[in-house]
Amino acid sequence: MTQKGPDALTGKIRIERTYNASIEDVWELWTTKEGIESWWGPGGFVVKVRKLDLRPGGEMLYAMIAVEPAQVQFMKNAGMPLTTETQLTYTEVVAKKLIAYTHLADFIPGVEPYNVATSVEFHAGKQSVQIVLTLDAMHDEEWTRRAVMGMESQLGKLTKILAGPDRE
């Protein structure tokens, strides 16, 4: 049975984080191949950026690869490939203030592909940066929960990178 993904999703999820880092460091991690590959993707996955064109209408193409045994087993049990190719299309980019993009959720078995929108606001303070992520809910509660868990996991990876010894 195929479920239809939402055409005009009204449900939004908001996630906020504050990092003790400069806006330059946080922006670099969100906007460069090396930065993105250092933290993007939930725990147990690595990401390889294939293309990065950071401008409205530009795209980021990346492969997310399950590498830890628990994630590999989960993907196999769910009938999903270990490597998922994803394309983001940037809809808005304002340097050190906003990144907005959509991506096609085309990896869910039994669900027709649909677009998911995400925006990331950057609010620079004197010695910190607050980010506010707003993302569309997925087609059902379980997949929305998975999306939030994945985003929370990757933001945890970002926290570790920003707290690392090579950051001032």
Tokens of 75: 């993907």
Q: Rounded distance, CA 33 to CA 39, Å?
A: 11
Say yes or no to pLDDT of 165 above 70. no
- Name the packing angle between helices 141-163 and 23-31 (round to 10°): 130
Average pLDDT over residues 106-117: 81
Q: Rounded distance, CA 101 to CA 95, Å?
A: 14
Highest CATH level, class, for 12-163: alpha beta
Average pLDDT over residues 19-46: 94
Three-class DSSP category at 105: strand
In this predicted model, what pLDDT tens digit does every residue of 37-81 receive, in sequence order? 999 988 888 999 999 999 999 999 999 899 989 888 988 888 877
Whole-structure pTM value: 0.82
Which among 161, 156, 163, 162 has a CA at the least distance from the CA of 44? 156
| Whole-number pLDDT of residue 146 | 83
Average pLDDT of the chain is: 87
| Whole-number pLDDT of residue 10 | 55
In this predicted model, what pLDDT tens digit does every residue of 119-150 receive, in sequence order? 999 999 999 999 999 999 888 888 888 888 88
In this predicted model, what pLDDT tens digit does every residue of 143-160 receive, in sequence order? 888 888 888 988 999 999
* Residue ranges per structural domain of the chain: 12-163
Tokens of 39: 């933290």
